[in-house]
Structure 1
Amino acid sequence: MKKKIALIGYGVIGKRVADAIALQDDMELAGVCDVISDWRIQTAVSKGYPVYAATDEAKISMAQAGVPLAGIMADLLDIADLVVDCTPKKIAAQNVDTYREQKIKFILQGGEKHETTGHSFSAENNYTSALNRESTRVVSCNTTSILRTLTALKKANLLENARGTLLRRATDPWESHLGGIMNTLVPEKDIPSHQGPDAQSVDPELDVVTMAVKVPETLSHLHYWNVRLTRKADKKEIIEVLQTSTRITFINYSDGLVSNNTIKERYLDMGRPWGDMYEVALWQDMLKVEGNELYYAYVVDNQAIVIPETIDAIRSLTGMEENAEKSILKTNISLGIVR
Structure 2
Amino acid sequence: MKNIAVVGYGVIGKRVADAIKVQDDMKLVGVCDIISDWRIQNAVRKDYDIYATTTEAEKQMKASGISVMGNMQDLLDKVELVVDCTPKMIAAKNVETYKTHNIKFILHGGEKHETTGHSFSAENNYNTALNINATRVVSCNTTSILRTLTALKRADLLDYARGTLLRRATDPWESHLGGIMNTMVPEKEIPSHQGPDAQSVDPDLDVITSAVKVPQTLSHMHYWNVKLKKETSKEEVLNALKTSSRIKFIHYDQGLVSNNTIKEMFLDMGRPWGDMYEVALWEDMLKVVGDELFYAYVVDNQAIVIPETIDAIRALTGIEMDGNKSIAKTNKSLGINQ
TM-score tier by shorter-chain length is over 0.9
Q: Distance in 1 between matches of 2:191 and 2:302?
A: 24
Q: Distance in 1 between matches of 2:37 and 2:308?
A: 28
Secondary structure at the aligned position of 2:236 is classed as helix
Secondary structure at the aligned position of 2:235 is classed as helix
Counterpart residue type for residue 325 of structure 1: N
Secondary structure at the aligned position of 2:198 is classed as helix
Secondary structure at the aligned position of 1:257 is classed as coil
Q: Distance in 2 between matches of 1:62 and 1:69?
A: 7
Q: Distance in 2 between matches of 1:40 and 1:68?
A: 15
Check if 1:155 corresponds to 2:139: no
Check if 1:302 corresponds to 2:301: yes
Residue 261 of structure 2 corresponds to: 262
Q: Distance in 2 between matches of 1:84 and 1:136?
A: 10
Q: Distance in 1 between matches of 2:242 and 2:154?
A: 12
Q: Distance in 2 between matches of 1:333 and 1:174?
A: 29
Q: How does 1:1-339 map to 2 (within 5 A)?
A: 2-339=1-338
Secondary structure at the aligned position of 1:70 is classed as strand
Return 5+ residue gaps in structure 1 as ranges: none
Distance apart, 1:253 and its partner CA = 0.5
CA shift digits 1:163-211 (9 cap, x unpaired): 0000000000111111100001010000000000000000000000000
Q: Distance in 1 between matches of 2:40 and 2:72?
A: 15
Identity of aligned residues (%): 74
Q: Check the 8 A contact 2:163/2:224 in 1, yes or no.
A: yes
Secondary structure at the aligned position of 1:79 is classed as coil
Distance apart, 1:338 and its partner CA = 2.9
Counterpart residue type for residue 224 of structure 2: W
Q: Distance in 2 between matches of 1:229 and 1:69?
A: 56
Q: Distance in 2 between matches of 1:245 and 1:112?
A: 26
Q: Distance in 1 between matches of 2:240 and 2:38?
A: 44
CA shift digits 1:37-86 (9 cap, x unpaired): 00000000000000000111111111111111000000000000100000
Over aligned residues, Cα RMSD in angstroms?
0.5
Q: Distance in 2 between matches of 1:182 and 1:305?
A: 26
Q: Distance in 2 between matches of 1:236 and 1:58?
A: 56
Q: Distance in 2 between matches of 1:286 and 1:338?
A: 20
Q: Distance in 2 between matches of 1:148 and 1:249?
A: 11
Q: Distance in 1 between matches of 2:86 and 2:268?
A: 30
Return 5+ residue gaps in structure 2 as ranges: none
- How many correspondences in the alignment? 338
Aligned structure 1 segments of 4 or more residues deviating by more than 6 angstroms: none
Distance apart, 1:306 and its partner CA = 0.1
Q: Distance in 2 between matches of 1:67 and 1:23?
A: 24
Distance apart, 1:320 and its partner CA = 0.5
CA shift digits 1:282-338 (9 cap, x unpaired): 000100000100000000001000000000000000001010000000000000013
Q: TM-score, normalised on structure 1? A: 0.99
